[in-house]
Amino acid sequence: MITGFFFIFIVKYILDTGLGTFDRKLTDKLLELRDFLSHAVNDLCTKNTICQKDIDEMNKYLASLSFCKVLKKEEERYILNIIPDKSNLNQIISKVILSFVEMITNYDIKRIKICKNPECGWIFYDESRNHTRKWCDNTCASLMKVRKFRKRHTIKKASNSG
Ligand SMILES: [Zn+2]
């Protein structure tokens, strides 16, 4: 999985399934963040752009968070690690925001897509050669194929009997 998609993980799983484990303040902040990011991702997927208002909002988040920069040596390479400061709230929000920014700055935004399964809504990165992927994974792909088949079958049956 692309590391830039950490925020999707938060949006999809932590918020949908684990709300009770966070305190109220954190939950509210994360919900706010989720709404904001879903809006931005929706614009990204439908218009291939993020509006200036959202960019300003993103910068507000970035400015309000505190990060610590640490230089590390890893085998033969030097790495600059950007680490959010210690508070829980700041750590989670920082990770989400950073991963989002990393995604839109390092990856082809045209390949960021929302799964066409209306009950899914998962965001994925289309790595197919022709950029034609429609579903987030095989489960959604086969589910939608079955539905399409059934729909076609029903229409055929209806027109046969009528
Ligand atoms: Zn899906």
pLDDT digits (tens, 9 = 90+) for 26-51: 777 877 887 888 888 888 888 889 99
Which residue in the block uniquely carries the two structure tokens 């997927």?
Answer: 45
Phi, psi dihedrals of residue 147, rounded to the nearest 5°? -65, -45
Give percent of the chain above pLDDT 70. Answer: 78
Distance 59 CA to ligand 1 centre (A): 30
Residue 136 alpha carbon to ligand 1 centre in Å: 4
Cα-to-centroid distance, 78 and ligand 1 (Å): 38
Compute the distance from residue 134 Cα to the ligand 1 centre, in Å.
9
Confidence at residue 8, expressed as pLDDT on a 0 to 100 scale:
59
Residue 117 CA, ligand 1 centroid: distance in Å: 5
Render pLDDT for 88-114 as a digit per residue (tens, 0 to 9): 666 777 778 888 888 888 888 888 888
Q: Residue 152: count other Cβ atoms within 10 Å of its Cβ.
A: 10
Task: Please give the residue that has the higher pLDDT: either 43 or 23.
Answer: 43
Contacts for 130 with CB less than 8 Å, ≥ 6 apart: none
- Residue 139 identity (one-letter amino acid): T
